């Protein structure tokens, strides 16, 4: 499989070239155009239970599976909101945790499952009790709202990140929830309230825009609902 990021920037597309018999998976609704030698089908990826768990984690019940059944071909895919697409190579040793809507696509060998967080992280991390986990050997593609920026942490190095700006992070990175400021009043008035403290080693991917903040901004321009 070969791939190329076309029209890089907020309206990027992922072009994937498949050899005969190869397949590729992506979030539901991602396909824009494809060769007539390819077929697209819906896949539960792991059965009904894993599909339901992905729904709880904020993803679709089904994936798209694109397969080159009648010869080689190309497919163009895109995310539903303006933002970047970034490839992350998986070596089978280190898994990645993904925020809601962080998964975009992956090669066929990459497994997308769910991971349950503890009570504190589930309630206050902004990600819920279940997050997605990518494992295996292959290439994972993550998507964002806004641009994606990687932060490399050395062993023992720490960084504090707002919960609405996370995209993905490796399982080598430890994290926990804490107040944005020392006191609750300062945390609330700062507009941050709770943040996540990450401790390396590993590369953490963040997005430059907060979808929840954008939603709040957009609602100010919408007419009030009647009734």
pLDDT for res 45: 65
Domain 2-210, CATH homologous superfamily name and number: Mitochondrial biogenesis AIM24 (3.60.160.10)
**Backbone CA torsion sign across 116, 167, 104, 92:** negative
Q: Where are the domains of the chain?
A: 2-210
Contacts of 49 (CB under 8 A, 6+ apart): none
In the predicted model, what is the mean pLDDT of residues 120-131?
A: 47
The model's confidence at residue 46, banded by pLDDT at 50, 70 and 90, is: low
- How many alpha carbons fall within 13 Å on the CB side of residue 134? 31
pLDDT tens digits along 25-45: 999 889 999 999 999 998 766
140 by Cβ neighbours in 10 Å (0-12 / 13-18 / 19+) ranks as buried
The model's confidence at residue 151, banded by pLDDT at 50, 70 and 90, is: very high
Q: How far apart are CA 27 and CA 129, in angstroms?
A: 21
In the predicted model, what is the mean pLDDT of residues 153-163?
A: 93
Q: How far apart are CA 41 and CA 132, in angstroms?
A: 22
Element (H, E) at 146: none
Q: Does 188 score more than 50 pLDDT? A: no
Q: What is the CA 172 to chain-centroid distance, rounded?
A: 17
Q: Lowest mean pLDDT: which of 67-76, 79-88, 148-157, 170-179?
A: 170-179
pLDDT tens digits along 52-74: 444 444 555 468 999 999 999 99
pLDDT for res 130: 54
pLDDT tens digits along 70-102: 999 999 999 988 999 999 999 999 999 998 778
pLDDT for res 177: 81
Q: How far apart are CA 205 and CA 179, in angstroms?
A: 21
Per DSSP, helices labelled H in 57-210 are 119-124, 184-189
In the chain, what is the straight-line distance between the N-terminal and C-terminal CA atoms, in Å?
53
In the predicted model, what is the mean pLDDT of residues 126-145?
A: 81
pLDDT for res 128: 45
pTM of the complete model? 0.81
């Amino acid at each position: 499989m070969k791939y190329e990021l076309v029209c890089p920037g907020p309206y990027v597309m992922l072009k994937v070239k498949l050899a005969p018999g190869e397949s590729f998976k992506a979030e539901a609704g991602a396909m824009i155009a494809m060769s007539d030698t390819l077929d697209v089908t819906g896949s539960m990826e792991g059965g009904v239970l894993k599909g339901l768990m992905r729904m709880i984690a904020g993803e679709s019940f089904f994936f798209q599976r694109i397969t080159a059944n009648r010869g080689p071909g190309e497919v163009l895919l895109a995310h539903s909101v303006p933002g970047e697409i970034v490839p992350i190579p998986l070596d089978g040793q280190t898994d990645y945790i993904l925020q809601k809507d962080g998964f975009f696509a992956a090669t066929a060998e990459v497994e997308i499952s769910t991971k349950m967080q503890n009570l504190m992280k589930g309630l206050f991390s902004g990600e819920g009790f279940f997050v997605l986990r990518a494992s295996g050997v292959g290439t994972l593609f993550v998507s964002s709202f806004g641009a994606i920026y990687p932060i490399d942490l050395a062993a023992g190095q720490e960084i504090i990140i707002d919960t609405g700006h996370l995209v993905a992070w490796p399982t080598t990175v430890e994290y926990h929830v804490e107040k944005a400021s020392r006191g609750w009043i300062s945390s609330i008035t700062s507009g941050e309230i709770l943040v996540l403290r990450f401790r390396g080693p590993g590369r953490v991917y963040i997005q430059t825009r907060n979808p929840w903040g954008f939603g709040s901004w957009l609602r100010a321009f919408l007419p009030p609902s009647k009734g």
